[in-house]
A and B are shown apart, each in its own frame.
Chain A
Amino acid sequence: MLYILAVMHLLVDTVTISTLYSALGGHSQESALMWVLLYNFLAFSTQAITGGVVELTAERCGTGPKLFRLLRRKSDTYLLFAAAGAILAIFSALIPLGIVMSILIAGIGNSLFHVGGGAYVLREYKGKGCAVGVFVGPGAIGVALGTLYTSQGMLFATDLSAVTVILILIWLLIGRFGRGEGRITTAIRQMLSRERKESVHVSGELDPSSGIRPGIRLTAVLFLLTAVVFRAAAGYFPSSSWKTGAFAVMAAAICVAAGKIAGGIALDRIGAAKVMFLSVFVSTPLILLFPDSFKGGLIALFLINLAMPVTLILVYRYIPRYPAFAFGLTASVLAPGVLIGSYASRFISSMDSLTQKILYTGVSLLILILVLISSYLIRGKSKDINTGG
Chain B
Amino acid sequence: MAGKMLLDAGFIAPVYFGGLAVIVSLVLSLLVLLCGLGFLIYFLFFKGKKKH
Contacts and interface: CB of A to CB of B under 8 A. Distances in A.
Main secondary structure of the interface of B (DSSP, over half): helix
B3 A343 contact: no
A352 interface: no
Given A37-B3, A340-B26, A49 B48 contact: no
B9 A339 contact: no
A342 B17 contact: yes
B33 A346 contact: no
A189 B30 CA distance: 44
B15 to A, nearest CB: 8
Contacts, number: 141
Interface in A1-47: 17, 20-21, 29-30, 32-34, 36-41, 43-46
Given A48-B35, A214-B45, A335-B29, A243 B3 contact: no
Interface in A182-215: 214
A144 interface: yes
Contacts of A48: 32-33, 35-37, 39
Contact of A343 (B9, B17, B33, B40): B17
A345 B29 contact: no
A308 interface: no
A248 B11 CA distance: 13
Nearest to B9: A249
Interface string A238-252: 000001111011001
Contacts of B28: 41, 45
Contact of B5 (A52, A147, A319, A336): A147
A328 interface: yes
B25 A41 contact: yes
Contacts of B23: 343
Given A45-B28, A214-B45, A342-B7, A143 B1 contact: yes
A249 B1 CA distance: 13
A169 to B, nearest CB: 31
B3 A49 contact: no
Nearest to B39: A52
A329 B34 CA distance: 10
Contacts of A319: 40, 43-44
Given A37-B3, A143-B1, A29 B18 contact: no
Contacts of A217: 44
B47 to A, nearest CB: 8
B2, B30, B43: which has the most chain A beta carbons within 10 Å? B2
B22 A55 contact: no
A214 B35 CA distance: 18
B18 A325 contact: no
Interface in A98-121: none
A335 B26 CA distance: 8
Interface of B: 1-10, 12-14, 16-19, 21-26, 28-30, 32-33, 35-37, 39-41, 43-45, 48
| 9 interchain residue pairs of minimum CB distance | A48-B36, A52-B39, A342-B17, A37-B25, A214-B44, A45-B29, A339-B26, A244-B10, A336-B29
7 contacts: A40-B2, A46-B32, A218-B40, A244-B9, A249-B9, A325-B39, A336-B30
